[in-house]
Amino acid sequence: MFLDSKLVSVLEDWHERCVETPEAWLFANADTKRPVHGDAIQKDYLRPAGEKIGLQGVGWHSFRHSFRHSFRHTYRTLIDDIGTPLGMQQRLMRHADIKTTMNTYGSAFEKTKRRANSRVAALVLPPAIKKQLKDRAKEVSLKNLKPETTAIQ
């Protein structure tokens, strides 16, 4: 499995700072030396981190799936959004069948959907309409920049 070198560095740094356990757990409870319970990680770390960046309800059961699948959905959405070819997405997700990648995981960001629709519209609109829309956008922009003047009495 491929891990980005920056992620490997973060995990190595974390491993140096985490509680030592015979099994070398990355997320161990300091008292029990056993793995930290998932609910505690969700409550103490995932949800606050998500809220800090504007995501509500981040956790193991987001999207009504288990922990592993919540993050797999997010991963697929992100690699799709950056334009990763579908075949590569399938390999990165380790799916035997492209249908699993396409039909089960991920969804498009609203901004990405709007951008895609705008690109298609730009391709199919006749040049005259494109020019009218561009001129209208400039007009609106200029109106917003003009200061209002009032007569002095």
- 39-71 pLDDT, tens digit per residue, is 787 788 888 888 888 877 676 554 444 555 677
Largest CA distance in the chain: 86
Report the pLDDT value the prediction gives residue 88, as an integer from 0 to 100: 95
DSSP class of residue 97 equals S
pLDDT tens, the chain, 153 aa long:
677 889 899 989 988 988 889 888 888 888 999 888 877 877 888 888 888 888 776 765 544 445 556 778 888 988 999 999 999 999 999 999 999 998 888 788 888 888 888 888 888 877 777 777 777 777 766 555 555 554 454
Closest CA to 70 of 59, 78, 81, 80: 59
Mean pLDDT, all residues of the chain = 80
pLDDT tens-digit map of 5-16: 898 999 899 889
11 CB neighbour count, 10 Å cutoff:
13
| pLDDT (0 to 100) of residue 69 | 62
Q: Are 73 and 55 in contact (CB under 8 A)?
A: no
How many other C-beta atoms lie within 10 A of the C-beta of residue 129? 11
pLDDT attached to residue 84: 94
Q: Which of 71, 133, 135, 144 is nearest to 105 (CA)?
A: 71
